[in-house]
Amino acid sequence: MEQRAILKQGNAYGYVDTTGKLVTPLHFDQASYYQQGQAKVYQGSHWMKLDLQGAVIEDGLQGEVFWTWVKWGALLGDILFFIYYARRHKLTLLG
């Protein structure tokens, strides 16, 4: 896990750390989960890549690259959460 969570307030997105401290301002139009220490966000009319401290490390990313990254990243995140939840609650999968 990347120790960051997406926070949404109204139509604005930002990130918080595990203590709930705001890592970035809530001013992004869209946001992805952190993967390998980076997250991709959309603000205004362009995409950016952020590091764990919320600093912009790449600007002007293309939309297609972003959505591919978000789609597979979200799927992986869901799978990992399901495995964690199933193990923590000792669930048995039917198969």
Q: How far apart are CA 23 and CA 7, in angstroms?
A: 10
pLDDT tens, N- to C-terminus, the chain (95 residues): 578 999 999 999 999 998 989 999 999 999 999 998 999 999 887 888 999 999 999 887 665 566 666 667 777 777 777 777 777 877 666 55
Specify the pLDDT at position 71: 67
2, 34 in Cβ contact below 8 A?
yes
